[in-house]
Amino acid sequence: MDLMINDLYEAIKIKKYLTRERIYIFVVGIISGLIAHIYYMVNRIASDDMAVISYSEDPYNVIEYVIRGSATGRWLGSVVDLVMTWYRSFYVAGWITIVLMALISLFLISCFNIKSKTGMVLTTVLIEISPVTQGYVVLGEISYVIASLFAVISAWLIIKRRGVLSTWIRAFIFLGLALVIMPTNMSCMITTILLWAISELAYSKENSADDIIKLILKAFVVLVMAGAFLLLSSSLIMKIGNVSSTGYQGAEQAVSGSFLTQLPLNLFQVYKKFIVQGLWKIQIVPVLRITYYLAYIIDLILILVLWSQSKKDNVSSSGKRAVLIGIGLVLVPVAVCTITVISYGFMYRGQHRFPLMILIIGGIMLTEKVSMLYGSAIKQKSKRIWNVCIIAIINSVLMIYGFFLYDNIGYQMQHYVMEHDSALCIRILSALDANEDFEYSDPIYFLNITTWDENEAVTDAKYEPELYSVIWPVVTTNLYCYGDISIRRHMTNYEGVEFVSPSEEIQNEIEDSELVEQYDDLKAWDFAITTYKGVTVVVVKTVMPPNVLYG
């Protein structure tokens, strides 16, 4: 049997990639990912989206998934999720996510030419424990991580295998697949290539400035072609399936092309979004957010060190390289937040922040290049540079610990949120049972009144306001997200009770009625039962999770 497996490896030409070093890093990634996320994987905790999930009576209707997903461009996303079958198992999704993130780490290590064991371990552990992986695990969907993998493979092909036309075709195919699974992952490919280019411009004897510019231009062509494939395929499927466009996360602007008229405003928002996710509302325990700032400062220092050394070593076009490095640094926020160019209102949740993690990994690439350039005698040659590299390594370790704390505080808070939501729903059911005028065959509507007052929140996280504002998953309630649907689905999924909905016209009337003002003085987590035109209305007040403000 072993001989047959070896023959298979030879046939698919994978054996030469299965080095002991890569297997070691792959295993380290899986172990670290399990340590960080096992709590969520083995408990039936749900996010605000997963709490309202409803399974189709025809769960393998691929055509329906494709048509429905075309409205947001993600027409292959739900099909990819069928790898887990139709059922969302957090344990299965967690395992697949952790394994694929370890694989992504190997591709990034190759792209960034990280060869030291320290650098490789830091890279894979940072990625596995990052809040991005937490976001993927929480959603119970593998489409996000598969799209990220395909986008990174596209970048890897462009960087490492760029000499052949077939490589560029494969890069287009992988990026095209990534986009129709999850369009936001274009940023993963762009960020990876841009960071590699900045590093090579800072110091490289193998790649001239002109070579790097040509590669970027070709990569841009691949990106445009993949984007065109996304828009044209989505439009065609929408037309065939008679599906209307949706304003969700800027999908309508992308499909219609209307974003072109908003480019100046959108470009301004790009930098604003980068500041929010990368400088202000950072997904890490607040006491260790300094690790991000330190990482950025160290990166700039190391770029300067590399460029200065390139001048000493008479690397060609040092002035031109300096200008291109400056342009590259200015474009980093555009690479990380590319989707904002299309939709200025796009909200960057945990699962959308992988390009920011690639930016952090770029710092390991720079540290690696400096250490290789100076060799084993780096301390003797320049103690200051040696100190900077040591600080970079220690900073990465502290960041890993900050991510680990952030992930598991979030998981535990989410567990509490689930229990609290369930208790509220049981109280509502008990009150309805005691109401002699209510029958379960009668229509009922849940009117959710929300507040932003953290003093009414029931979570301990409110005692650290900065943590309270960024913690993920949601830290107050899962019932806020879709109003009536959130509460109704929670009742079905967790309490096993089905309710009858009133007509859509009546629902809209209730939302616009005076009931909102009438019951505005309700305390959070309290409710009142009333009627509106013969429909039983349960008015519920909940606290909005603050992280939805800072996407």
What is the rounded CA–CA span in Å between residue 513 and residue 508? 9
Residue of 29 and 347 predicted with greater confidence: 29
Res. 149: pLDDT tops 90: yes
Cα→Cα distances 486→40, 57, 211, 457, 524, Å: 21, 20, 53, 18, 16
Backbone angles phi, psi at 458, to 5 degrees: -100, 0
CB neighbour burial string for 149-186, b if at least 16 within 10 angstroms, e if fewer: bbbbbbbbbbbeeeeeeeebebbbbbbbbbbbbbbbbb
DSSP-based three-state secondary structure for 450: strand
Q: What is the pLDDT of residue 236?
A: 93
Q: What is the pLDDT of residue 198?
A: 97
Residue of 245 and 408 predicted with greater confidence: 408
Mean pLDDT calculated for residue range 460-464: 87
Q: 535-543 and 527-532 as β-strands: parallel, antiparallel, unpaired?
A: antiparallel
Q: 444-451 and 527-532 as β-strands: parallel, antiparallel, unpaired?
A: unpaired
- How many CA atoms within 13 Å lie on the side-chain side of 533? 11
Cα→Cα distances 392→263, 284, 328, 368, 385, Å: 37, 17, 22, 10, 11
Q: What's 113-153 look like in SS3? A: CCCCHHHHHHHHHHHHHCHHHHHHHHHCCCHHHHHHHHHHH
Res. 145: pLDDT tops 80: yes
What is the rounded CA–CA span in Å between residue 27 and residue 468? 34
Res. 422: pLDDT tops 70: yes
CB atoms within 10 A of CB 543: 23
Q: What is the pLDDT of residue 537?
A: 96
Of 214-218, 251-255, 307-311, 544-548, the least confident = 251-255
Contact 537, 510 (CB under 8 A): yes
Q: What is the pLDDT of residue 1?
A: 75
Q: What is the largest CA-CA distance in the chain?
A: 89
Cα→Cα distances 438→276, 435, 527, Å: 47, 6, 16
- Identify which of 531, 486, 540 has the alpha carbon closest to the alpha carbon of residue 509: 531
Computed on alpha carbons and rounded to an integer, the radius of gyration of the chain in Å comes to 25
**Ordered strands of the 527-532 beta sheet:** 444-451, 535-543, 527-532
What is the rounded CA–CA span in Å between residue 432 and residue 443? 12
Res. 50: pLDDT tops 90: no
- Identify which of 281, 280, 154 has the alpha carbon closest to the alpha carbon of residue 227: 154
Q: Scanning the structure block, which residue is given the tokens 């996000």?
A: 144
What DSSP designation does 71 have?
G
**447 bridge partner residues:** 539
Q: What is the pLDDT of residue 362?
A: 97
Q: Scanning the structure block, which residue is given the tokens 């990639």?
A: 17
- Ranked by mean pLDDT, the top range of 254-268, 288-302, 368-382, 519-533 is 288-302
**Residue 378 binned pLDDT confidence (cut-offs 50, 70, 90):** confident
In this structure, what is the dihedral angle of CA atoms 139, 144, 148, 149, given to the nearest 10 degrees? 100
Cβ neighbors of 101 (< 8 A, separation 6 or more) are 29, 33, 127, 128, 133, 136, 145
Q: In the structure encoding, which two tokens stand for residue 62, read together?
A: 């691929």
Q: What is the pLDDT of residue 116?
A: 95
Q: In the structure encoding, which two tokens stand for residue 451, read together?
A: 């507040």
Contact 453, 521 (CB under 8 A): no
User: For 464-516, what is each residue's pLDDT tens digit?
Assistant: 999 999 988 888 999 988 889 999 999 998 888 999 999 999 999 999 999 99
Contact 388, 294 (CB under 8 A): no
Q: What does the DSSP assignment read for 215-234?
A: HHHHHHHHHHHHHHHHHHHH
Contact 413, 546 (CB under 8 A): no
Q: Residues 292, 298, 303, CA angle at the centre, nearest 5°?
A: 130
CB atoms within 10 A of CB 212: 21
**Residue 532 binned pLDDT confidence (cut-offs 50, 70, 90):** very high
Mean pLDDT calculated for residue range 111-136: 96
Backbone angles phi, psi at 539, to 5 degrees: -90, 120
**Residue 9 binned pLDDT confidence (cut-offs 50, 70, 90):** low
Instruction: State the chain's mean pLDDT as an integer.
Output: 91
Res. 39: pLDDT tops 80: yes
In single-letter form, the type of residue at position 310 comes to S
Q: What is the pLDDT of residue 83?
A: 92
User: For 313-324, what is each residue's pLDDT tens digit?
Assistant: 888 888 999 999
What is the rounded CA–CA span in Å between residue 490 and residue 51? 6
Q: In the structure encoding, which two tokens stand for residue 544, read together?
A: 């909005």
Mean pLDDT calculated for residue range 268-272: 91
What share of the chain has pLDDT > 70, as a percent? 95
User: For 64-103, what is each residue's pLDDT tens digit?
Assistant: 999 998 888 889 999 999 999 888 888 999 999 999 999 9
**Residue 8 binned pLDDT confidence (cut-offs 50, 70, 90):** low
Res. 7: pLDDT tops 70: no
Q: In the structure encoding, which two tokens stand for residue 85, read together?
A: 């079958």
Q: What is the pLDDT of residue 252?
A: 67
Q: In the structure encoding, which two tokens stand for residue 160, read together?
A: 């490492």
**Residue 522 binned pLDDT confidence (cut-offs 50, 70, 90):** very high
What is the rounded CA–CA span in Å between residue 169 and residue 222? 8
Asked whether the CA dihedral 72, 137, 550, 459 is positive or negative, the reply is: positive
Cβ neighbors of 415 (< 8 A, separation 6 or more) are 43, 45
Res. 153: pLDDT tops 70: yes
Mean pLDDT calculated for residue range 443-463: 90
Res. 344: pLDDT tops 80: no
Helix, strand, coil shares, percent, the chain, to 5: 70, 5, 25
The model carries a pTM of 0.94
